Structures are given as C-alpha cells and as structure tokens.
Amino acid sequence: MALLFAYADAKYMTEWTNPDGTKSQAPATFYSLKDAKAQTTPKLLSWECGMQEHVKWVNWEIDFEKNVLRSWWQNHNSGDYQPSTVDKILSAKDGSIRVKGYLRDGEKIDKDKVVVWEFHYPSDPSLTSDLYSIWNGNKHYFKYCKNTTNYDLPQTSSILSWECGPSGGFQWINWEIDFEKNELRSKWLNKGSDNERAQIARINSKSDRTIFVQDYSEEQKRWNSESWEFNYKSNKLYTIFMGDKYNYEDCKNTTPLQTASMAQPAIRQIGHYAEDKRNRLVGSYSNGGASFEGYWVQDDSGQECRSIVDGSLYYGRVFFKMTRPGEIKGRWGYCDAAPIYAWEGKQISVSTNFSKPLSSKQQRIKVQKSLNFFGFKAGSPDGVFGKKTRSAVGDLQACWSSIDPNGGTLPESTEFGVLTPKQSQFLMDSYEKAKHQYSKANCFYFATLL
C-alpha cells in the first residue's frame, strides 16, 4: 500500500475528538487523485422530460446550493397553467436525493400534506435518460428526459446588472439579477409618465444565461402562477412572456468589474464521510497525494459560520496526512478557526467490508424468491446474483428507505444494491411469514410492520 491517500477510492474507519472531549467514529471515503481532479459536479442539475401518462411535459432541477428540488409541469387539458413545486433536500447520495414537500405554486404546503419521497437520477451525465421517483413505496418513471445541465457554466458574480434605453413603452428600464437572494429586480419609467415603477420577481430556475421567474401579486398576496423568461446571453436583453418575445434596446452591462472578478472557482470534492455524500470533504491533495487540506462541509452542524463554503454555512477547516501506509492523522475545527481537534483513521481492508456474500447457494436462491414474492423482479432463482438481482435489491432498499427512513424497524443499507447479512435474514424471515398469508405482496407489506 503506497504512502498516498489512494490510487483508487479508499475507505477509512475514522475517529475524531469532539469539543467536549468525547470521541465519535464514522467511515470516510477519499476519492482517487484522478477522480478528485475531475470532481466538478455542478451545484445545479436539470432535466426536461417529454410527454408522460399524466402530463404533457415535466422539468426537474436539483439545486444543491439552495438545497432544494424544483419541478414544474403542464397537465393534459390544463390550458396554460403550469403547476410548480419546491421540495427540501433531506439527504443525498450518488444518483438519488431524499426530499420532503415545501412549496406548491409558491404557497407553503400544509403540514398534514407534506410527504417525504425519493428522486433518482443517473449520476452519469448522459444526454438522455429516464428518471424516477419513489412515492409511498411506488416507483414512478419519467421517460424521454434530456439532461439540460450546463456542465461548462462559468462562475459569475452574485449580482448582475444592466441599464437599458428607450424600447417599447419604456423611457428606460434597469435590470438586476441577485443570485444570493434568488431575485430578478427591475425598475423602469414608462413613456409619458413621471413616476418610476419597480418589480421583484422570484427566480424559479436558471440555465445558461437564462432565468425563469414569477412575479408577486400585491393584490392577491401570492406569487402569480404564470412564469416568464429573462434572457441575458448578450447586452441585447429580452423576455418571453406567454410565448411573446420583448426586446430591450441600448442595454449596457453595469455589473462592477471588481465584483465579477471576485467569483470563486469551484471547490473540488475529494471525499465524504458518515456514509452521506452531503457530508463532504472539499479542498485539494498535496505532496503528491500524501496530504489533504481543505474543509469539512455539512448541511447542518452545531455551529453556524458567517461565510459560505461549497454552498453551506456549516463547515470547518480540516487537514489530514498519511503517517504510514493505510493510516491518516489530522485535525479539524469549526468555521475558519484553526483546526485543533484530533481526527485520524485506518484504511478498511476488503475482508472487513460489510457487504459479505451469502454463505450458500440455497440462501441466495431463497433471497431471490423473496425478492420476486414482494414484487422486486430478481429473475429466475438460480443463486447467481447478477444485474437483475442487484437491481431488485436496490428497489427493495429504496422501498425500505422510503417507509422507514430512520431505520427504526427495517434494517439500514450500507451499500446500494448489496444486502447486508441482517437485511438478507430480515427479507427471508418476512417472506416465510408473508407467504402463509398472501400469494404475493409488495412494498406496502413492509409498512404494516412499522
């Protein structure tokens, strides 16, 4: 084992000292030098999906910086009305997020109507791919989807501004995009008027030099259901509202140069810890891969910081160095203070991996029969865990996670698509009990066990 963090992804069992002197343990994974350099996952992922059974189209957007999942769609026979929702991200893993309802058409969802569900997407940025959600144990596919994520979107300042001259019915109009507050602000003077007017619109989604917004109605005290588009690909700005395009002439970019130059380059994620990729390690390797220095970042922690690192107010400085093959030592702290608390770990060997294969072919056949019985298609029960069986196991784990997210009754997963011994035994025991009552069952059976 070389005196480097990893030629390939490496997993360590780590232990750190808490501020009160107690100690905690959790696994930590460090990505390989090659993968860490290529780790440039955008904070904004988006897809456009074609006609489905119940909708003409549906668009999805994951915003890891705001920690939300946005969606908007058009139902069949609904005219121009386009419903929209915002769901808060509770946790995230590679290719999936767990969310709960927050807003519907700009209005907060009643507590008794809030649902926790999962959204799955391909981690491979292919141009076309099917997405799916798991809602109340049922899987819903979204087909004919195009990945519209802009992987080359450059960093910009948080506020962009323009001043435009006479156009249409305006003597002049000024625009300002505030990405921090998620707002598009406008101020204008109509021709033949001496009274300036102003408007604030909420940004629902954004792509390359285009944002989609909603206006706030003071009369109705709610956000308007109609969204519109603001395009700033050049100094010839234009908007699109209900299919009509409006151009704004003689526009000058007034974004302060020094503000634009302050845009920070994307921080590279080089690892994660505590089995959750949202608990991330960001920074860089040095000394040829023998040291790491950067930040730990979470969506929540015991101390809120004044600045933002990788989209979060909860972070702290951290460093590790390889002291001997397979062993790391380092320190961590809160926010930008010097790291003073110990954090060390030892690489986990393959033999200690939690995902051990079942001990006999008969057991593997029984697991496949159990999966098929509960509606998770594992294929012919032959004792060989191939692609179908792994997919069925993943569906089972997603089912369990959706109805018992805290793992209070149903056994938790350590690796997607691979059963732990505890999960295998629980599944087979459930099968033995259920087959005496039912000819077949589905995910809802496990909900009855809670």
Q: Above 90 in pLDDT, residue 332?
A: yes
Instruction: Quote the tokens at residue 437.
Output: 């009552």
142 burial type by CB count under 10 A (0-12 exposed, 13-18 middle, 19+ buried): buried
Q: Above 50 in pLDDT, residue 400?
A: yes
Beta strands in 169-313 (DSSP E): 170-178, 183-190, 196-207, 210-217, 222-231, 238-241, 244-247, 251-253, 269-273, 276-286, 291-298
Q: Name the band, by pLDDT with cuts 50, 70 and 90, for residue 33.
A: low
For the CA atoms of the chain, what is the radius of gyration? 26
User: At a CB cut-off of 8 Å and minimum separation 6, what does 304 contact?
Assistant: 313, 314
Q: Cα dist. 449→87, 268, 401, 425, 444 in Å?
A: 28, 42, 14, 15, 9
More confident call, 32 vs 198: 198
Q: Above 70 in pLDDT, residue 353?
A: no
The predicted model gives 214-232 an average pLDDT of 79
Q: Which residues pair with 24 in a beta bridge?
A: 16
The predicted model gives 19-46 an average pLDDT of 70
Q: Above 90 in pLDDT, residue 370?
A: yes
Note the pTM of the prediction, 2 decimals.
0.37
Kindly report, residue by residue over 422-434, the tens digit of the pLDDT.
Answer: 888 889 988 988 8
* Residue 349: per-residue pLDDT: 42
Distance CA 343, CA 330 (A): 5
Distance CA 200, CA 354 (A): 53
More confident call, 148 vs 85: 85
Taking Cα atoms as reference points, which of 154, 173, 179, 187 lies closest to residue 63? 179
Distance CA 33, CA 8 (A): 8
* Residue 173: per-residue pLDDT: 94
Q: Name the band, by pLDDT with cuts 50, 70 and 90, for residue 125.
A: low
CATH number of 44-147: 2.40.128
Instruction: Quote the tokens at residue 62.
Output: 């994951």
Distance CA 74, CA 81 (A): 7
Strands 210-217 and 196-207: antiparallel
* Residue 97: per-residue pLDDT: 86
Q: Which CATH number fits domain 10-38+266-352: 3.30.70, 2.30.110, 1.10.3470, 2.40.160?
A: 2.40.160
What is the overall mean pLDDT for the chain?
Answer: 79
Kindly report, residue by residue over 177-216, the tens digit of the pLDDT.
Answer: 887 677 899 999 999 898 899 888 888 777 667 888 888 7
| φ and ψ at residue 126, rounded to 5 degrees | -75, 160
Beta strands in 314-400 (DSSP E): 314-324, 327-332, 341-347
Distance CA 239, CA 424 (A): 56
Least confident of 88-92, 380-384, 442-446: 88-92
Q: Which of 25-29, 258-262, 358-362 is the most confident on average?
A: 25-29
* Residue 123: per-residue pLDDT: 64
Q: For residues 188, 191, 196 and 198, what is the CA-based torsion angle, rounded to 10 degrees?
A: -40
209 burial type by CB count under 10 A (0-12 exposed, 13-18 middle, 19+ buried): middle
Instruction: Quote the tokens at residue 266.
Output: 């994307």
Strands 327-332 and 341-347: antiparallel
Contact 112, 229 (CB under 8 A): no
Q: Hey, what CATH topology would domain 159-260 get?
A: Lipocalin (2.40.128)
Equal fold, 44-147 vs 159-260: yes
* Residue 66: per-residue pLDDT: 73
Domain boundaries, the chain: 10-38+266-352, 44-147, 159-260, 361-447
Q: Which residue matches tokens 């386009």?
A: 82
The predicted model gives 74-101 an average pLDDT of 82
Q: Which residue matches tokens 């074609």?
A: 50
Q: Above 50 in pLDDT, residue 38?
A: no
